[in-house]
Structure 1
């Protein structure tokens, strides 16, 4: 059995502010430690239920170099660094039996939700077949394209609700309740880890009850970008055109894998500043 644990940072218990998630800021090392400890709790739960499972942990925040390798449970393999195939889902393939999303956050525009955004501050919204999807939906649908169910998600209550809206039978652990974009009522980190360990074990035992999220192609995709010059760059990509309005681009993807790859590329292009 193969299991992928994708770990982001904004949805970790106790983290509420960008200084805790940014390598250049003073509180980042504390955020890294909290992130690694929650990853370890989930690894323990997965292996409690499936002792022989191959467990991959994908560091999925920012640089993809946040988890402390020497502190990670030695029974897991760490997927680290970027760029890499499938981004936040690095290590996922059609042979993966289950995916768990830990420390995830709600999509841009959701709220109240802690540090809500979609991949980048440059992305205001992504709509696939008319439905707004954030990182949770995009990654869950990419996993579903490969036949992999997302059996557990942790983050704030808004993030948990976002997955349940897409996959009602999935498990969730709300480690905090947002009071705003940078404020929350959070569980004690040790309490969060205990709940995550138990929930991960339970999620593995009931994984057969959770269907993969599948969105059949072809798919019409619209992306709202924060600046018009980003639209100018995006339209240089074959198949991408300017939609009505100064900040929206659109394209049609043959399947979700193609849609996912293009959205990830657009995120990178959005970071290019005009000369």
Structure 2
């Protein structure tokens, strides 16, 4: 197989064993354990990519919270790490470097998803994002962003709800469910090492089949609706040129997904 560049975007809520904010926030008592589990999952996917394509260039984008969670010294040294925020393209920083395939690891379902673990959309400030009338969480938004760069998402992993959300948008995509959601803070989860074994196998398979996948792109121009949690956030959003407000919902048109993604990141940051 010819050398390829693979972007692995790693979130935290969808990692095996993780069920509570105490494990995902820097102030949480179990955060260091969460970081270790996240790093191990990233390493498993890096290994799987390189099992199938030893010459691949692998970029790992730390894509949770502050984007400073993966332990750099413990990450597979064959990969490069993208960390820190704010940054262009947020969770998918690295697309600009010419990635040919993307993978979502440790992802979660969108805000309001029934029975999903730690479900939300970008930040607590946002209740829902609709693109051309269709509701999307981070999985959908990021899949469309990758598609706008001509990059297919070839693998997604998280709880069962996250995997179903991905499959609804990318029917031929490969998923690796690592836990079954029992509620916002509860799950039936695989042992972390078993999850890593499955992730490695899944990543290898996804890379081997990458030519079977096509990017998923949204038609342009894009009409975006965002339901916000707090009226004050909507007040602030309405000060941004090009954004209209109706109650707690703001709307805007974007020329492309890069522009839409930038505004969505901004809306998340101005919220509480």
CA RMSD of the aligned region, Å?
0.8
Match of 2:108 in 1: 105
| Divergent runs of 4+, >2 A | none
Match of 2:43 in 1: 40
The answer to whether the 8 Å contact 2:10/2:42 transfers is yes
Cα distance 1:33–1:233, how it changes in 2: closer, same or farther (>3 A)? Answer: same
3-state SS, counterpart of residue 6 of structure 2: strand
- When normalised by structure 1's length, the TM-score is 0.96
Match of 1:235 in 2: 238
The answer to whether the 8 Å contact 1:144/1:212 transfers is yes
3-state SS, counterpart of residue 137 of structure 1: helix
3-state SS, counterpart of residue 129 of structure 2: strand
Is 1:163 matched with 2:166?
yes
Match of 2:205 in 1: 202
- Alignment equivalent of 1:78, drawn from 37, 61, 81: 81
3-state SS, counterpart of residue 152 of structure 1: strand
The answer to whether the 8 Å contact 1:43/1:73 transfers is yes
**Separation of aligned partners in 2, 1:194 and 1:94:** 29
1:94-173 alignment, distance < 5 Å: 95-173=98-176
The answer to whether the 8 Å contact 1:94/1:148 transfers is no
Shift of 1:241: 0.5
- When normalised by structure 2's length, the TM-score is 0.97
Is 1:191 matched with 2:197?
no
The answer to whether the 8 Å contact 1:94/1:146 transfers is no
3-state SS, counterpart of residue 93 of structure 1: helix
The answer to whether the 8 Å contact 1:216/1:256 transfers is no
**Separation of aligned partners in 2, 1:257 and 1:87:** 10
1:253-264 alignment, distance < 5 Å: 253-264=254-265
The answer to whether the 8 Å contact 1:13/1:176 transfers is yes
Instruction: List alignment gaps of at least 5 residues for structure 2.
Output: none
**Aligned pairs, how many?**
269
**Separation of aligned partners in 2, 1:217 and 1:263:** 17
The answer to whether the 8 Å contact 1:123/1:267 transfers is yes
Is 1:31 matched with 2:54?
no
Cα distance 1:94–1:37, how it changes in 2: closer, same or farther (>3 A)? Answer: closer
**Separation of aligned partners in 1, 2:213 and 2:67:** 28
The answer to whether the 8 Å contact 1:94/1:147 transfers is no
Shift of 1:150: 0.4
Cα distance 1:218–1:172, how it changes in 2: closer, same or farther (>3 A)? Answer: same
Shift of 1:93: 2.2
**Separation of aligned partners in 2, 1:258 and 1:228:** 24
Shift of 1:94: 6.5
- Alignment equivalent of 1:50, drawn from 33, 48, 53: 53
Instruction: List alignment gaps of at least 5 residues for structure 1.
Output: none
